[in-house]
Amino acid sequence: MRDVIVIGAGGGGPVVAKELAARGLDVLVLEGGPWYTDPERQWSRYENDANSPADGYLRFGPADRFERPPWFRELPQNSFVWQLAGSGGTTQHYFGNCPRAMPGVFDDYAGADADAYDAAHRFPFGYRELIPYYEWVEATLPVQTAAMGTKEAVFFRGCEGVGLPVNPYKDILYDSFRPQENAILQPGGTAGRTNDEALLTYPQATGCTFCGYCFQGCFEPRRAPRNLKAKRQTDNSYIPMMLTAQRWAADGRRVTFTPNAFVTRILWDAARTDRAVARGVRWRDTQTGEQHEETAQVVVMSAGCTEDPRLWLNSQLPNPNGWVGRGYTDHAIDWLVGVFDEYTGNSKGASSSARVDYPGRGALEQVGLPPALEGFAMGFSDSGVRGVYDNGRPLTGRWDGLAGRVYGADLKSVLSDVDRLVNVLVLTDDDVEPDDRVVRSTFPEDENGPIPRVRIKGRERSARTLANREFLANRAADILHAAGARRVLRMDFGPLPLHVHSTMRMGSSADDSVLDEHAEARWVDRLFVADNAALANALGGPNPTLTNQALATRTCERIFAKYFGGDPWVGSESPVSSLDDRVTAGVLAGEAG
Amino acid sequence: MTIRASERGTEREITLSRRELLLRTGVLGAGAVVGGLWPSAARATVPDALRPLLAQVADPAIQLLVRDTYAGLAVFAVPGPDPYSQAQRVTTAAPGGVEAKAPELLAHTLDSYISLPDAYAQALVAAFRTGVEDVPIPHSLLGGALSALELVGATMDDVLRLALANDETVPASLPLALLMNFAATQVRPSSVVGPIPSSPFANLTWSEKGLAFERIEQADPAIVALIDANAPQPLKEGASGLLRFVGNAMLVFAPFAGYSEYGVFDRSTLRATRRPIGWDLSRYMPGRTTPADGWPEFLGYYQDRRETHTAPEFGGP
């Protein structure tokens, strides 16, 4: 019997594994996708080869990507869910953005604008309580203030032009802009200062080389030990730490990591009529088809907002209030493109290094992309094709013309120079809504069992969510115009859950939550959730990974105290950075893959 | 109703029944479809004696239909100087989606990404084959003994009937191509003939293609009813969601495919063999064929601030 089994090696699971391995527990991590042990050879960074949902190396599917299809999920609406299997999970795609949540989404908030947030679904504890965990994770990753390139300079010019103040802190206190706090190492040596590839290898270059491929997984600078790569996706940070815990923690114990292991069932016993106890998992080897079972004192679900509910429902665990899978929040994201007459460096540098926060409304962030992903973004809309049809949704505002896809000759014109664009991503503070949810699909099951169906209402979101989204889209257009854009285009995305939260939410009330205030399942002892699904709400708009990781760290203390008789450590110890020489030594010794 | 259309410079007449015309344009509405009128209206044209010939031409005919339809979609997103762009009457001098091999990537991506149950995929083909009922088997595929098929007026509908009768596994790209073609005949019934002989969708003008997708994305009631009338349980009544999903998927993958490296990518080396067309179109990394390891883009730190801390009101310095 293991001490702890963690399901999933994405943004949250490796945090749990690293923290509990440092306490000396025997931890097994099961990941449904492959383990990327040598990305410099495995990843091309070409856009289709990386991102194709069919057979890209960052797809959601089994490891043998050219031989077998991806795992299909039913989406009964205009939408695209960007799931990802493999070590690192969706942090392969993420831009490393690490803002803290809005204080207004926690239950101790007493600001004058308290009603501006999703007041019915606040976190069941206070913002101040989470700050030590934020600081712990920020030191571990580490999180650093983003460097600036041309596209950031253009964006900041727009923010200054509309009169926004600068936020010099990690916390979000008022409407303001700032460089991102990013889990990306600042450029050092030759990084960011040359495109001579002979000069861009470690240790001449350290940190971000401004290659522009955050979305395709980061392995820069070449030849750097895995834990010293620029972007701190978990396979560059927490996974190396969990696999070298015996080196850097006094009582540390190396985690057992098993890739290609798709968990198909939580094993549990009925403790009483209304309660269950988790005792292990059943998983399927995606390469051989063999079934395995393993038991543990504690099971932690970290498979993501779509797969956690799938696994819970397929395991026939209790769901007395029906909230498993409900409350699927996604920031109701949207996209605007500014077309400039000047060089913007859109395709170069960290993909997002600048942001604006509007407490009670959401956030905006500048995003740079290479051309095919630009095409994807300009082809995704709930408002039809510009100049032909608007899907009954003629959205007008501070942008130019109606919202909608940019297509045909217009697309070729807009994309005639990818480095004369600036994109803005709209991150709406959206409400937890029970009818946006994951259920089991009526489509046939796949080799891993019944598949999930993700239902998102899109246009029928709450009035507050829709108003926030329009507010933010207009502010984005104002900033782009103030920055000097010749033309501003709004896409009006359909649901494109890049940020997903709260499908297994923690909450104060047992009526509308799955987890208690410690992220343990309300009706299943010894079963915890540690990923974005555990979040109580959409955080007010900030990108979720940092809060997911801080909350997972807090959850680890609870697991250790309740089931292993240990003491908490975040308030009494100093965090070890994932850049620590002891981690590097373990990586160089081949212990991290 | 008789319509006249031009195919390779030759005027051709097509007679559509009034019911066909009304159904395709959506006027007759869902009730007629659910009532079973529509599928039964289709008719086979090939005598049993010629069915072996039909079997010979079935696979290439379906491949051509799929290829031409996705080429029509690829140039809707990213036009170029090719015949498909000419057919939609929006061309550009610079190459576009066809030259980037976007049609092949679109079909491949949809086949793999969208996993339709076999019975559902076959039901969709049965529903939408009426959109190509009047589309002849392309002349380019016929000759010699196969010319007999031309003489009896064999159509793509006959090919699809044969495929369904053989209970073949249907990749998603086929029913989705048929969906586009059916919607095309709703927008303009005469699109069954035109410069692209095997795809009504590819014969639409650029704006008409948008109107066809409007019907798909808005889950046109006639299309929804047609799907639900054919769909097996428990998948009935899921057509609206399916249409909105696949409509967006096709529209979003098309520009992605046009600007991607797919057309020049070598899977065995994980490298492009030459510069992708989309990189030239977007002036992306001039002169390169491989992703760059970095750029001299570092300008410093905004207001020279390299680190931040927790705010004083929350205990920071």
Bridge partners, B193 (sequence order): none
Give the pLDDT confidence score for residue B35 in this predicted structure. Answer: 42
> CA B129 to CA B131: how far, in whole Å?
5
**Residues of chain A positioned with their CB less than 8 A from the CB of B214:** 384, 388-389, 391
Work out the pLDDT band at B23, boundaries 50, 70, 90: low
Give the pLDDT confidence score for residue B43 in this predicted structure. Answer: 53
What phi and psi values does residue B199 have, to the nearest 5 degrees?
-145, 105
- Percent of chain A at pLDDT > 90 equals 98
Segment A69-77 shows an average pLDDT of 94
Q: Any CB–CB contact under 8 A between B1 and chain A? A: no
B117 contacts A443? CB cut-off 8 A: yes
**Residues of chain B positioned with their CB less than 8 A from the CB of A77:** 241, 244-245
pLDDT tens digits for range A97-136: 999 999 999 999 999 999 999 999 999 999 999 999 999 9
Segment B109-135 shows an average pLDDT of 90
From A200, A387, A416, residue closest to B294, measured CB to CB: A200
- With a CB-CB cutoff of 8 Å, which residues 207-236 of chain B face chain A? 207, 210-211, 213-214, 217-218, 234-235
B77 contacts A173? CB cut-off 8 A: no
Work out the pLDDT band at B40, boundaries 50, 70, 90: very low
A70 contacts B214? CB cut-off 8 A: no
* Average pLDDT over chain B, rounded to an integer: 88
Closest alpha carbon within chain B to A65: B112
> CA B6 to CA A593: how far, in whole Å?
63
Bridge partners, A261 (sequence order): A285
**Residues of chain B positioned with their CB less than 8 A from the CB of A221:** 293-294
Give the pLDDT confidence score for residue B32 in this predicted structure. Answer: 46
Q: How far is A241 from chain B (nearest CA, A)?
A: 24
Segment A372-395 shows an average pLDDT of 96
Host domain of residue B151:
2-264
Work out the pLDDT band at A541, boundaries 50, 70, 90: very high
* Average pLDDT over chain A, rounded to an integer: 97
From B76, B296, B308, residue closest to A181, measured CB to CB: B308
Does residue B34 carry a pLDDT above 50? no
Q: How far is B204 from chain A (nearest CA, A)?
A: 13
Closest alpha carbon within chain B to A190: B296
Domain boundaries, chain A: 2-256+328-588
> CA B95 to CA B75: how far, in whole Å?
10
Residue B309 located in a structural domain: no
CA angle A214, A215, A216 (to 5 degrees): 95
Does residue A177 carry a pLDDT above 90? yes
SS (H, E, C) chain B: CEEEEEECCEEEEEECCHHHHHHHCCCCCHHHHHCCHHHHHCCCCCCHHHHHHHHHHHHHHHHHHHHHHHHHHHHHHCCCCCHHHHHHCCCCCCCCCCCCCHHHHHHHHHHHHCCCCHHHHHHHHHHHHHHHCCCECCHHHCCHHHHHHHHCCCEHHHHHHHHHHCCCCCCCHHHHHHHHHHHHHHHCHHHHCCCCCCCHHHHCCHHHHHHHHHHHHCCCHHHHHHHHHHCCCCCCCCHHHHHHHHHHHHHHHHHHHHHCCHHHEECCCCEECCCCHHHHHCCCCCCCCCCCCCCCCCCECHHHCCCCECCHHHCCC
Work out the pLDDT band at B138, boundaries 50, 70, 90: confident
Work out the pLDDT band at B18, boundaries 50, 70, 90: very low
Q: How far is B263 from chain A (nearest CA, A)?
A: 10
Give the pLDDT confidence score for residue B4 in this predicted structure. Answer: 56
Work out the pLDDT band at B15, boundaries 50, 70, 90: low
Does residue A221 carry a pLDDT above 70? yes
Give the pLDDT confidence score for residue B14 in this predicted structure. Answer: 56
B234 contacts A442? CB cut-off 8 A: yes
pLDDT tens digits for range B165-207: 876 788 999 999 999 999 999 999 999 989 999 999 999 999 9
A210 contacts B295? CB cut-off 8 A: yes
Segment B41-70 shows an average pLDDT of 86
A135 contacts B214? CB cut-off 8 A: no
Does residue B232 carry a pLDDT above 90? no
Does residue B42 carry a pLDDT above 80? no
SS (H, E, C) A362-420: EEEEEECCCHHHHHHHHCCCCCCECCCECCCCCCCCCCCCCCCECCCHHHHHHCCCHHH
Does residue B29 carry a pLDDT above 90? no
Span between the terminal Cα atoms of chain B, in Å: 82
Does residue B41 carry a pLDDT above 90? no
**Residues of chain A positioned with their CB less than 8 A from the CB of B247:** 78
Give the pLDDT confidence score for residue B68 in this predicted structure. Answer: 97
Contact A399, A383 (CB under 8 A): no
Give the pLDDT confidence score for residue B16 in this predicted structure. Answer: 56
Give the pLDDT confidence score for residue B31 in this predicted structure. Answer: 46
Give the pLDDT confidence score for residue B235 in this predicted structure. Answer: 81
From A66, A209, A407, residue closest to B294, measured CB to CB: A209
Does residue A447 carry a pLDDT above 60? yes
Work out the pLDDT band at B38, boundaries 50, 70, 90: very low
- ipTM higher than 0.95? yes
Does residue B107 carry a pLDDT above 90? yes
Give the pLDDT confidence score for residue A172 in this predicted structure. Answer: 98
Which amino acid, B136? P
Running DSSP on this structure, what letter comes out for residue A198?
A: G
pTM of the model: 0.95
Give the pLDDT confidence score for residue B36 in this predicted structure. Answer: 41
pLDDT tens digits for range B127-137: 998 888 888 89
Work out the pLDDT band at A245, boundaries 50, 70, 90: very high
B265 contacts A379? CB cut-off 8 A: no
Contact A173, A167 (CB under 8 A): yes
> CA A201 to CA A223: how far, in whole Å?
6
Closest alpha carbon within chain B to A48: B260
Residue B284 located in a structural domain: no
Give the pLDDT confidence score for residue B180 in this predicted structure. Answer: 97
Give the pLDDT confidence score for residue B231 in this predicted structure. Answer: 87
> CA A543 to CA A99: how far, in whole Å?
6
> CA A303 to CA A262: how far, in whole Å?
10
Does residue A205 carry a pLDDT above 70? yes
From B252, B259, B282, residue closest to A417, measured CB to CB: B282
Bridge partners, A142 (sequence order): none
Give the pLDDT confidence score for residue B33 in this predicted structure. Answer: 45
Which amino acid, B302? Y
Does residue B8 carry a pLDDT above 80? no
Segment A391-405 shows an average pLDDT of 96
Q: Any CB–CB contact under 8 A between B304 and chain A? A: no
**Residues of chain B positioned with their CB less than 8 A from the CB of A222:** 293
Segment B35-50 shows an average pLDDT of 59
Segment A376-384 shows an average pLDDT of 97
pLDDT tens digits for range A419-442: 999 999 999 999 999 999 999 999
* Total number of domains constituting chain B: 1
Count contacts between A and B (CB, < 8 Å): 291
Residue B307 located in a structural domain: no
> CA B298 to CA B293: how far, in whole Å?
14
pLDDT tens digits for range B81-95: 999 999 999 999 999
Q: Any CB–CB contact under 8 A between B274 and chain A? A: no
Segment A389-408 shows an average pLDDT of 96
> CA A12 to CA A161: how far, in whole Å?
38
Does residue B26 carry a pLDDT above 90? no
- Percent of chain A at pLDDT > 70 equals 100
Lowest mean pLDDT among A290-294, A345-349, A554-558, B223-227: B223-227
Residue B43 located in a structural domain: yes
